[in-house]
């Protein structure tokens, strides 16, 4: 291309089982269009593996609060909750005054959030949540349809695609850098504090590979036009709340999960020698039903491994699949 020209849009195409994270220069635009190019540009796309049974999938930048009722086994006492993140550079965690788990995804990768319930006299309970922070839905296109000069309303149309492996239950658009006199007319919410950006939230099933068309309507009452002074729009998945852990005192942490070349799934978890463990499987996360594998694992060390060989031990894969481990109680 000529010096000073604009490049053509480039869209990263992750292989099945991977999600786009960012370009090597830190940009997360997808597609990416470089403008006013003055010299050769070389960038590489970074992808993160999305393991089957990813447990909880979270979009970068997501700020959420989740109710902890039902997570711990009731024992007649009121607990004091505490939360710790294994990597605050990926996700921060805190307990609110209302005893809700507040998390913010600030980086990419795998992280474990450990929540402890401390009781006055009863034994404490601990639950680990394994979380994978991924990028945003892929923006296939963004366009401004023709506009009549007399009309103060402007329309921006997006086409997005779900290139991740877990089902979303909705889409959230967050707006910043709105010029004076420009508002989002079809705004439905504000992002949770302290973010506070105007937002459009749409509840719908957004499955892996699905494409979705979105329309934003702006009302311009000042000197600026949104098509000439476009705001920054961040598009996020809305994902299911953190699901309850296994019954009892919470399941052991699954430290490693991967798909083997022949399609079988390998799990490794922390264990106590001599204890007996059960494996549960859920298809169609998060609305599916837990099914217990008809096998008792007796731990011989502080690390236990198990391979999901498929039917008949476990049902065929349907939708997003998750696993959990429980210690068998007497």
Tell me the pLDDT band of 59, cut-offs 50, 70 and 90.
low
**Is residue 104 pLDDT above 80, yes or no?**
yes
Percentage of residues in the chain having pLDDT higher than 90: 20
**More confident: 15 or 161:** 161
**Residues 16-51, buried b or exposed e (16+ Cβ, 10 A)?**
eebbbbbbeeeebebebebeeeeeeeeeebbbbebb
**Is residue 148 pLDDT above 60, yes or no?**
yes
Residue 192, pLDDT score: 58
Q: Name every residue whose Cβ is closer than 8 Å to that of residue 28 and which is 6 or more positions away in sequence.
A: 21, 22, 60, 135, 136
Residue in 264, 200, 270 with CA at minimum distance from that of residue 235? 200
Domain ranges of the chain: 137-238, 251-330
Domains 137-238 and 251-330 share a fold: yes
Residue 99, pLDDT score: 87
Q: How many CB atoms lie within 10 A of CB 188?
A: 13
Q: Which of 37-41, 125-129, 138-142 has the highest mean pLDDT?
A: 138-142
Q: Return the residue matching tokens 């103060």.
A: 152
Residue 212, pLDDT score: 94
Phi-psi region of 28 (alpha: psi -120 to 50; beta: other; left: phi over 0): alpha
Structure tokens at 27: 């940009």
The least confident of 109-118, 137-146, 252-261, 278-287 is 252-261
Q: Name every residue whose Cβ is closer than 8 Å to that of residue 90 and which is 6 or more positions away in sequence.
A: 105, 106, 107, 108, 109, 110, 111, 133
Task: Determine contact, residues 167/207, Cβ cutoff 8 Å.
Answer: yes
Task: Determine contact, residues 106/90, Cβ cutoff 8 Å.
Answer: yes
Residue 241, pLDDT score: 55
Structure tokens at 326: 């429980």
Over range 46-60, report the average pLDDT.
54
Q: What kind of fold does domain 251-330 have according to CATH?
A: Immunoglobulin-like (2.60.40)
Question: What is the side-by-side strand order in the sheet with 63-67?
Answer: 63-67, 100-105, 91-95
Residue 65 to residue 61: CA distance in whole angstroms: 13
Backbone phi, then psi, for 301, in 5-degree steps? -155, -170
Q: Which residues pair with 173 in a beta bridge?
A: 200, 235
The least confident of 31-35, 59-63, 142-146 is 59-63
Q: pTM for the complete prediction?
A: 0.49
Residue 209 to residue 325: CA distance in whole angstroms: 29
Residue 19, pLDDT score: 58
Tell me the per-residue pLDDT of 290-322, one tens digit each, with 9 for 90 and over. Answer: 888 887 787 766 778 888 888 777 888 877 778
Maximal CA-CA distance, the chain: 77
Residue in 264, 321, 326, 323 with CA at minimum distance from that of residue 297? 326
Tell me the pLDDT band of 32, cut-offs 50, 70 and 90.
confident
Q: Name every residue whose Cβ is closer than 8 Å to that of residue 181 and which is 6 or more positions away in sequence.
A: 220, 221, 222, 223, 224
Q: What kind of fold does domain 137-238 have according to CATH?
A: Immunoglobulin-like (2.60.40)
Residue 162 to residue 19: CA distance in whole angstroms: 10
């Amino acid at each position: 291309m000529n010096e000073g020209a604009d490049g053509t849009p480039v869209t990263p195409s992750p292989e099945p089982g991977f999600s786009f994270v960012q370009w090597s220069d830190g940009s997360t635009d997808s597609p990416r269009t470089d403008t006013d190019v003055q010299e050769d540009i070389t960038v590489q796309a970074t992808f993160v593996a999305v393991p089957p049974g990813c447990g909880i999938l979270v979009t970068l930048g997501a700020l959420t609060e989740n109710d902890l009722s039902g997570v711990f086994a009731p024992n007649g006492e009121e607990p004091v909750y505490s939360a710790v993140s294994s990597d605050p550079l990926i996700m921060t965690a805190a307990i609110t005054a209302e005893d809700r788990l507040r998390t913010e995804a600030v980086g990419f990768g795998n992280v474990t959030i450990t929540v402890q319930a401390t009781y006055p006299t009863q034994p404490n309970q601990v639950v680990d949540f394994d979380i994978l922070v991924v990028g945003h839905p892929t923006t296939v296109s963004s366009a401004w349809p023709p506009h009549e000069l007399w009309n103060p309303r402007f329309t921006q149309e997006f086409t997005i695609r779900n290139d991740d492996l877990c089902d979303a239950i909705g889409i959230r658009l967050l707006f910043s850098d709105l010029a004076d006199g420009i508002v989002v007319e079809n705004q439905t919410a504000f992002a949770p504090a302290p973010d506070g950006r105007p937002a459009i939230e749409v509840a719908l099933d957004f499955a892996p590979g699905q494409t979705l068309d979105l329309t934003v309507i702006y009302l311009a009452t000042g000197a600026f036009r949104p098509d000439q002074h476009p705001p920054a729009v961040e598009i996020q998945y809305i994902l299911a709340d953190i699901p309850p852990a296994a019954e009892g005192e919470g399941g052991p942490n699954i430290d490693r999960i991967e798909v083997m070349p022949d399609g079988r799934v390998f799990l490794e978890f922390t264990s106590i020698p001599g204890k007996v463990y059960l494996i549960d499987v859920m298809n169609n996360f998060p609305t599916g039903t837990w099914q217990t594998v008809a096998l008792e694992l007796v731990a011989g060390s502080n690390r236990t491994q198990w391979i999901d060989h498929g039917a008949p031990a476990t049902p065929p894969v349907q939708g997003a699949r998750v696993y959990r481990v429980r210690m068998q109680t007497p």
